[in-house]
Amino acid sequence: MGNEKLQIKKLYALSSENRKYSFSLPLKHTIRIGKREYEVKLKADEKYGTYILWKNRKYPVEIVRSSQNKYEILFNDISYTFTIETPFSLQRMKVLNSTRGKIEKEIIKAPMPGKIIDVLVREGSVVLRGEPLVILEAMKMQNEIISPVHGTIVKVLAKPNTNVMKDDLLVEIKL
Amino acid sequence: MDLSGKYYKAFNDRQSAIEKQYSPKQAEKQHSKGKLTAHERINLLFDNSTFEEIDAFVTPADQPVEFGKVERSYGDGVIVGHGKVNGRLVFAYAQDFTIMGGSLGIVHAKKIAKIQEMALKMGSPIIALIDSGGARIQEGVASLSGYAAIFQNIIHSSGIIPQISVIMGPAAGGAVYSPALTDFVFMVNHTSYMFVTGPNVVKEVLNEDVSFEGLGGAEVHARKSGVAHMIYDDEENTILALKKFLSYLPSNNVENPPVVADDGSINEINEKLRDIIPEDPNKAYDVKDVITQIVDRNSLFETSELFGGSLVTGFARLNGKTIGVVANQPKVLAGVLDIDSSTKGARFIRFCDAFNIPVITFEDVPGFLPGVDQEHAGIIRHGAKLLFAYSEATVPKITIILRKAYGGAFIVMNSKNLGGDFSFAWPSAEIAVMGPDGAVAILYRKELAESKNPVDLKKELVKKYRDKIANPFIADESGYIDEVIDPAVTRKKILSALNALNNKWVKVPARKHGNMPL
Amino acid sequence: MNLMKIKRILIANRGEIAVRIMKTAHLMKIETVAVRTVVEPNAMYLATADVIFDNTEDISEIPVFLNIEKLIAIALETNANAIHPGYGFLAENAYFAQKCIDNSLIFIGPSPDAIYKMGNKTIARKIALASGIPMAMGSEGNITNEEEAVVIAEKIGYPVIIKAASGGGGRGMRIVRKSDEMEKMFIIASKEAEKAFNDPSVFVEKYIENPKHIEFQILGDTKGNVIHLGERECSIQRKHQKLLEEAPSSALDEKLRKKMGDMAVQIAKAVDYHSAGTVEFLLDNDKNFYFMEMNTRIQVEHPVTEVITGLDLIEQQIRIANGEELRFKQSDIKLKGWAIECRINAEDVQAGFAPDPGKIESLNMPTGPYIRVDTGVQAGSSIVASYDSMIAKLIVRGKDRKEAIKNCKMALDKVWIKGTKTTLPFFRMLVRHQKFQDGTFTTSFIEKDLEKYYFNSEYEEMLAAWLATKLFVEENLNDNSINVNFEHGKVMSPWLLNKRINQF
């Protein structure tokens, strides 16, 4: 039972469209295109903020959010969402996806009576856990109702400027 | 070393037998369920080659009555031992589902109890990696008594050494109380379950259909029951997070928490903090934006993130030293205190108190959540827990009032007369018995009813109320808070307060224990 | 030279257009007054004003720029003798223009009468019809019920469009393709119109499929001279919101330009139009054009016309309001080169152009002989949810369309904005799109011809993936928890250690 066997040697960044980028560890600060390796630098300064320097061009970057192994990166004004997977977690994902056939959904209900101020998602939008779905005014405060799961919105029942009771259905999310 | 001599024959035989027991085939079985083996988990947790296993060769107890099949195996389905995690001594046990489903027999239980006792004696954290079918039916009451001994050890160690459970498979029946008694519970999404009675029994007794995951999966326990404090999507991330988590905790209740070199990337003066609170006092913001601008970079480790979300709890560092953070979250239910957030906060504060971790409170609370639901479910009782925990804690306690601090909730959230050491307020703070609208409605009911233009009158009175009562300056001038500070210097203020409180000691009257309103 | 009566202008607006107006006023040695609001107390437009009126005490939900009484009072209090409404807000409010006149303030814009007539689409249609302007067939006036709508639709043929009489900006508009959709659409349009414009009146006209949006810039003085400054094409729009405009249009030749321009002048003359205005047409596949509406204000996209004519439209507005006669005739107007304007907004292209308000952390706009940037924000400014989401207008010039697109492509790569998401990725895609390059796009381009709303080069996602991985590695694998100093936790003052141990 050699210990080294279990050291993580490779990581995969899995995009939301299931494109897979693999990086070997320790992580190199270069990216290979064809036969050439190009240096990547992550930098920050007063004028530009945080940016990546690659092939003599600066690209603005921002870490929009991260939770656990999920990262949303704003790169040159476009957001990308990745989960970082190890070889085993990738395998595990495949195993679980094949055994868990049925689609599960999450129903978001109003946590308290109030008035819907704004609905921030539409049917078909992809949401991450922690993302606001609906703004509900109650107790004279605007409350963001946030998504407890990653998923796709399948139904939006909340309508702006309507009153809801506690436990009224607001949004349905497909996991 | 030449191990071919005659003394070594038996040694070699056993060695190869155990290697056979943990064969790749066995591992494959576990992998096919999306799980790692107990050895793989141990190896991932401990620093390279530092784990020392004990009792690897014990065998299951002999059965007095022949009922069911007992596999003859080495180790009896659990790996116990000690090693280094990030260089520090940590004890652990890992149940092995590939051997008799990780079921708990008496030998298995005794191994766990042994390592628990060692951890307590050495004053070192103990980690339980749980993946077990439950009590070993074949062993009957012996197995149950095994559980009892494990529980007793956990309770004895509680508050002395950090005890953490990681649920990586099933944990059912009485077995769930072992993690429930420990300080923190990690769970792995989709492959771990905890319940007292399983779906089959639920179906039989109540005729309710529920899946394993729906009844006691990680999501359920993280969001609804609050049993799980941290959940992750896979085992590797779970263990990586656990290692990180451990780095915040001291080894025992006499030590101080470990210290990390601060990279100095957070300025003592941070002007960004001035812009976080919205101009409109009824608008929400994310209190985590405040916290992350104050604590060391990337150092916030949130606990029970998905449960009682109107209160944020978690560990963080200030100049490399661990602090416990408790913060009302205006983004969720306006930051009100409800049953879930009160109990979550109370338990977190008690942990910090037990392990010498200063508690920093960021306050923006409009009050307790009103409603029949909450009152009938006992918000009085549960809110009292938070009050009790704050008041009882003797670690340094610092409060920063960001915005709302109204009524009973103001008292509860570590107010100065409740034993808070330092209490600072941002200029945006509103400290009063109740919010402007409520206060005006009560104090000027008659005037408002008689007024020709009640809307304008109310507006005017609200403004007056804010100017005269609901601001931090009155509390400051009368000594109910220590200082109104510029948000930009918050980190600096907390650091110097902590410095002053470094040797804080509170003499508590001798007693067996307080009687917390559980 | 005429004596300048206008001494001090109250800018009844904010943002980019306020900055733009002040720039010209400054050149003309006219003082300006800007209004500081509670929503944007440190906005950039305040920096260039001669006088700032502080209105931050006003915490009403309705912006001051919509409060006629308040604006008049501010003008009087600050001794301004003219008001420029900019675009949006009260720019096309006849009552506001009249109020200015009533208070002896010079309204920099057309007459209240012209604003009223062109603002009501039913009246505008009647005027256009009387002046012989080609128009999509439709109802003669407002219609009151869906039966009436069906009768008209049967006569002119489906598809038809229901439009709000007092509308604009796409609200209160519904396309009807079959008679059984009419009832539903009629009610929706009418309700929407009532909600948005406080007027439920609607009318029906023939819906032109896949048209180009062509508009003519008009200038008229108070002496009855009216000329046009050529056209702008604004076919790149999403839900009737213009995203990119150019001048001239590749769809027009000299002959058509003259024909359409003459028509535009004709309709302006019909209402005795003075000041700057815009006549909008739809141009179908067979080069038939139809009058759509006239905007009685300076347009967001006015810079493209300025670039190809060399005129300052704000200056012309001020001079006309001052009573001066136009100093040039139609024949003096020569269009030179090509100009493209990209509206860089704080919007999330990936989330269906949803507004993405926030603080601009850094902003670096390109400069150069072929670039003009009109903006009302700088690093540190906030894009607030209560106003529009514009960050900047990037206006790029070229000797012809091809060169303008090439320059635009280069300029877009040099724009650097951090803090909010922007429409930049959309423009980066657009300038690379074949249909845009060959000029064959129509107003349905975004809905029909686009597979993807944004452009990213082949390697951008990979670089982002690298960054995500790097962060993961830093946070989890070589996290500083490895450098945890556990010994440090054991060091403490003897006083405290003693107390802790003897506690039990």
Residue B22 sits in a domain of what CATH number?
A: 3.90.226.10
CA distances to B500, C9, C25, C174, C428 from C32, in Å: 55, 5, 7, 42, 37
Average pLDDT of the segment spanning C362-384: 93
Whether residue B247 and residue C496 make contact (CB cut-off 8 A), yes or no, is no
Whether residue A143 and residue B36 make contact (CB cut-off 8 A), yes or no, is no
Whether residue A21 and residue C460 make contact (CB cut-off 8 A), yes or no, is no
Does the CB of A81 have a partner CB in chain B at under 8 Å? no
Does the CB of C130 have a partner CB in chain A at under 8 Å? no
Residue B313 within any structural domain of the chain: yes
Q: Are C265 and C218 in contact (CB under 8 A)?
A: yes
Q: Are B11 and B3 in contact (CB under 8 A)?
A: yes
Residue B218 within any structural domain of the chain: yes
User: What is the per-residue pLDDT for B474?
Assistant: 85
CA B98 from chain centre, in angstroms, equals 30
Residue A131 burial (CB count, 10 A):
17
User: What is the per-residue pLDDT for A151?
Assistant: 82
User: What is the per-residue pLDDT for C182?
Assistant: 85
Judged by CB atoms within 8 Å, which residues 92-111 of A form the interface with B?
Answer: 92-93, 95-96, 100, 111
Q: Are B102 and B178 in contact (CB under 8 A)?
A: no
Domain count, chain A: 2
Task: Check whether residue B346 and residue B453 sit in a common domain.
Answer: no
Residue C282: beta bridge partners? Answer: C213, C290
Structural domain boundaries, residue B149: 14-246
Strands A49-54 and A57-67 turn out to be: antiparallel
Strands C226-238 and A30-33 turn out to be: unpaired
Domain boundaries along the sequence of chain C: 8-108, 137-206, 339-457
Helix (H) or strand (E) holding B436: helix B436-443
| Nearest CB neighbour to C488, from listed B243, B258, B503 | B258
Task: Check whether residue B232 and residue B297 sit in a common domain.
Answer: no
Provide the mean pLDDT of chain C.
91
Q: Are B276 and B291 in contact (CB under 8 A)?
A: no
Residue B185 within any structural domain of the chain: yes
Residue C219 burial (CB count, 10 A):
28
Reduced to 3 states, what is the DSSP secondary structure of residue C392? strand
Cβ pairs A/C, distance under 8 A: 109
Domain count, chain B: 3
Taking the CA atoms of residue C409, residue C412, residue C413 and residue C415 in that order, the dihedral angle to the nearest 10 degrees is 160
Residues in B closer than 8 angstroms to C470, CB to CB, are: none
Find chains touching chain B: ≥3 CB pairs under 8 Å: A, C
What are the DSSP calls for B95-155, one per residue? E-TTTGGG-B-HHHHHHHHHHHHHHHHHT--EEEEE----B-GGGTHHHHHHHHHHHHHHH
User: What is the per-residue pLDDT for C166?
Assistant: 79
Percent of chain C residues past pLDDT 90, beyond the cut: 64
* Nearest alpha-carbon partner for B93 in B79, B114, B76, B74: B79
Task: Check whether residue A11 and residue A31 sit in a common domain.
Answer: yes
Residue B53: beta bridge partners? Answer: B81
pLDDT band at residue B65 under the 50/70/90 scheme: low
Beta strands in C184-301 (DSSP E): 202-206, 212-220, 226-238, 241-247, 275-283, 289-295
Closest residue in C to B278 (Cα) is C39
What ranges in chain A are assigned the alpha helix state H?
87-99
CA B71 from chain centre, in angstroms, equals 37
Residue B518 within any structural domain of the chain: no
| Nearest CB neighbour to A112, from listed B31, B219, B333 | B333
Whether residue A13 and residue C466 make contact (CB cut-off 8 A), yes or no, is yes
Question: Of B325-329, C171-175, C202-206, which range is least confident?
Answer: C171-175
| Nearest CB neighbour to C477, from listed A8, A49, A66 | A8
pLDDT at C169 over 70: no
Average pLDDT of the segment spanning C136-145: 82
Average pLDDT of the segment spanning A131-156: 79
Percent of chain C residues past pLDDT 70, beyond the cut: 97
CA distances to B82, B91, B156, B373 from B160, in Å: 18, 14, 8, 37
User: What is the per-residue pLDDT for C202?
Assistant: 87
Whether residue B332 and residue A86 make contact (CB cut-off 8 A), yes or no, is no
Q: Is B383 a catalytic residue?
A: no
> Testing the interface with A: which of C191, C462, C478 to mutate, by most A Cβ within 10 A?
C462
Does the CB of C421 have a partner CB in chain A at under 8 Å? yes
Q: Among A99, A133, A148, give the residue marking a domain's end.
A: A99
Reduced to 3 states, what is the DSSP secondary structure of residue B495? helix
Task: Check whether residue A122 and residue A76 sit in a common domain.
Answer: no
Q: What is the pTM of this model?
A: 0.80
Task: Check whether residue A35 and residue A71 sit in a common domain.
Answer: yes
CA–CA gap between residue C111 and residue C98 (Å, rounded): 8
Task: Check whether residue A85 and residue A149 sit in a common domain.
Answer: no
User: What is the per-residue pLDDT for B184?
Assistant: 98
pLDDT tens figures, B291-324? 999 999 888 999 999 999 999 999 999 999 999 9
- Angle, helix B38-45 to helix B235-246, in steps of 10 degrees: 40
Q: Is C279 exposed, middle or buried (0-12, 13-18, 19+ CB in 10 A)?
A: buried
pLDDT tens figures, A44-74? 988 888 999 999 999 999 988 888 888 999 9
Task: Check whether residue A90 and residue A124 sit in a common domain.
Answer: no
* Nearest alpha-carbon partner for C201 in C211, C215, C186, C216: C186
| Nearest CB neighbour to A78, from listed C350, C462, C471 | C350
Superfamily of domain C137-206: ATP-grasp fold, A domain (3.30.1490.20)
User: What is the per-residue pLDDT for A5?
Assistant: 40
Q: What are phi and psi of B497, to 5 degrees?
A: -65, -45
Mean pLDDT comparison of B167-176, C67-76, C145-154, highest-scoring range: C67-76
CA–CA gap between residue B270 and residue B292 (Å, rounded): 11
Between these two residues, B19 and C441, which has the higher pLDDT value? Answer: C441
Fold exhibited by the domain C8-108 = Rossmann fold (3.40.50)
Task: Check whether residue A76 and residue A113 sit in a common domain.
Answer: no
Task: Check whether residue B68 and residue B135 sit in a common domain.
Answer: yes
CB neighbours of B66 closer than 8 A, spacing ≥ 6? none
Residue C93 token pair:
């409010």
Task: Check whether residue A78 and residue A128 sit in a common domain.
Answer: no
Residue C475 token pair:
């946070």
Residue A34 is given by DSSP the state T
CATH code, residues C339-457: 3.30.470.20
Average pLDDT of the segment spanning B107-132: 96
- Angle, helix B287-294 to helix B490-500, in steps of 10 degrees: 60
CA torsion sign for A29, A34, A35, A38 is: negative
Structural domain boundaries, residue A67: 7-99
Whether residue A5 and residue B219 make contact (CB cut-off 8 A), yes or no, is no
Task: Check whether residue A17 and residue A93 sit in a common domain.
Answer: yes
Whether residue C422 and residue A63 make contact (CB cut-off 8 A), yes or no, is no
Q: Among A99, A117, A152, give the residue marking a domain's end.
A: A99
Question: Of B51-65, B154-168, B178-192, C339-353, which range is least confident?
Answer: B51-65
Question: Of A105-114, B201-210, B294-303, C410-419, which range is least confident?
Answer: A105-114
The catalytically annotated residue of C20, C297, C372, C397 is: C297
Q: Among A64, A80, A99, give the residue marking a domain's end.
A: A99
Residue A37 within any structural domain of the chain: yes
User: What is the per-residue pLDDT for A2?
Assistant: 36
